[in-house]
Amino acid sequence: LTEDEDVQRMLRGSLLRKVKSRGVPRERLFRLQEDGVTVCFERRFGGARSPQSFSVMHIEGVREGHRSEGLRKYGAAFPERHCFTIVFKGKRKNLDLAARGEEDARHWVQGLTKLMGRLQAMSQPEKLDQYPFWIHGVLQRADRNKDNKMSFREAKSMLRMINIDMDDVYAYKLFKECDCSGNERLEGRELEEFCRRLLRRPELEELFGHYSGEDLVLSAEELQDFLRDQGEDASLRQARAIIRTYELNEKARQQDLMMLDGFMMYLLSAAGDILNQGHTKVHQDMSQPLCHYFISSSHNTYLTRNQIGGTSSTEAYVRALMAGCRCVELDCWEGSDGEPIVYHGHTLTSKILFRDVIESIRDYAFKQSPYPVILSLENHCGLEQQATMARHMRAILGDMLLTQPLEGQDSHDLPSPEQLKGKVLVKGKKLPEPWHEPRGVTSLPDPEEEEDEEDEEEEEEKLQEGSSWRVRGSSRPMVLGHHGILVVLEDHGIPAAKDALQVAPELSAVVVYCQAVPFPGLAHALLHPRPYEMSSFSERKARKLIKEAG
């Protein structure tokens, strides 16, 4: 890729502005390092602060234009074609950037995408070849005064560079253990030992020692024993192939021997994963009715932190969907300017526009999976803003939004995930058919009303940090198939508008297969199966029903 035009531009460097919520966006010089993996950025004219960096290995994706919450809010001064967002894996915040021109932005978006693709396509030996260059580059950038020694302050800077979030007390303890000279500086072997201790996995060392014996070298036969103990039908030939792929020491590799570092490299690779790699993609029968499946679901999806004063963000929806989540929650409340908002009601959590949430769902619903996405609406809005919600969903989602039963579908069964590929389903209350009365006259019983008090008690008992994962689905009759029964477990707030318990016809019309109803009891449900109806339970109520059912 070194001859690639986009990568060449990145190697030369570009002036990009970091767009943030606070302060004036300031230009930084961004440059790809010679290792083809590390990107450094620093003030245009230098300064006291050392250059910052990130690795292409830690990038989850690159978005063009104003497609992040940060750029939508604070990037209006920059043309959309000049802007892009780097999304990182883990907890690191997005990097919202604005280039001087469209061409520069395009080079960086395309170049980063190519480098990410190259890393993904690399074999394990090729990846291992990159690590020494990457680590050497990190150590050089952390060494602020270029004395080839590392102070504790520089060590902390290095930890930030490689995304290690470590307690300062523990980090200093490791630092002192490696500082054999006692001069508060690490160099040479001391620095190597510090890096080695950062990567230590005592449980893997113990496992290696158990199979390798006193010499702490694993032969192909001993590796085969380990693999067979893990339930793998491994031959001696396969054991030798693993050694030749993952062992770092050339001499040991030639003798079909494996050292601790090679053993750890194997266990931490995809090949050593406990997960069957064939199961990383959908391999089950997806043609059964929707209620035959457990659905990966998110509770309080909009929250990035706690449920009392945390931040609500459209980015939380993006991350949930990119993690494979197929059911997201929208806690909808009256907005002051006629626009519905999403937030955790009656708390200090920040608010985001319902419209912005739907736009994010449109853009990312099917990036990770083609199977249907369910929007679980916790509706606390009055009739007018309910109608606005329906208009936004129709206008923004278009054909993705399911508004009619599938043609030819048996009314006694739900369609399958396969049939619903690429579709967005709305879960909410549904008006009786046909609807003849004028808006505002009739209200429906709240299917969650009887659970509100229990939910509030449980909420007080165990407030959880950020978004938590729950199981949702249909309250279809208790007929146990091999996929089990789906139950909705969620919490509910207090209506904000006087007419929030009423349902606007416009919103009712987009509820098709996920109709929220009060639970009539197990006996009634068994006698009157309605697969398109769903009921919500607090965990306490669910346990009670299970106990009563024996």
**Which listed residue (66, 107, 292, 299) is catalytic?**
299
How does strand 257-258 pair with strand 218-219? antiparallel
Judge whether 100 and 78 are in contact, CB under 8 Å.
Answer: no
- Nearest residue to 354 via CA among 319, 397, 323, 324: 397
Where are the strands (E) in 193-247, listed by range?
218-219
> Can you name the residues that pair with 514 across neighbouring β-strands?
427
How far from the centroid of its chain's Cα atoms is residue 471's Cα? 17
Backbone φ and ψ of 389, nearest 5° = -60, -45
- Give the tokens for residue 38: 């590390």
Peptide bond into 434 cis (omega under 30): yes
Asked about 107 being catalytic, the answer comes back as: no
**Which listed residue (107, 292, 344, 392) is catalytic?**
344
What is the per-residue DSSP string for 139-153? HHHH-TT-SS-B-HH
Where are the strands (E) in 173-326, listed by range?
218-219, 257-258, 295-299
- Tell me the one-letter amino acid at 531: P
- Give the tokens for residue 279: 């199961």
C-alpha 143/C-alpha 433 separation (Å) is 71
C-alpha 204/C-alpha 258 separation (Å) is 14
Asked whether the CA dihedral 149, 154, 156, 160 is positive or negative, the reply is negative
C-alpha 383/C-alpha 499 separation (Å) is 7
Asked about 344 being catalytic, the answer comes back as: yes
- Tell me the one-letter amino acid at 442: T
What is the per-residue DSSP string for 407-451? TT--TTSPPPTTTTTT-EEEEE----SS--SPTTS-----TTHHH
C-alpha 303/C-alpha 342 separation (Å) is 10
- Give the tokens for residue 453: 């008090």
**Range list of H helices, 89-167:** 102-121, 124-142, 152-161
C-alpha 205/C-alpha 474 separation (Å) is 46
Judge whether 63 and 113 are in contact, CB under 8 Å.
Answer: no
C-alpha 251/C-alpha 125 separation (Å) is 15
What is the per-residue DSSP string for 297-346? EEESTTBSS-TTT--B-HHHHHHHHHTT--EEEEEEE--TTS--EES-TT
How far from the centroid of its chain's Cα atoms is residue 480's Cα? 31
Asked whether the CA dihedral 96, 100, 106, 108 is positive or negative, the reply is negative
Residues annotated as catalytic are: 299, 344
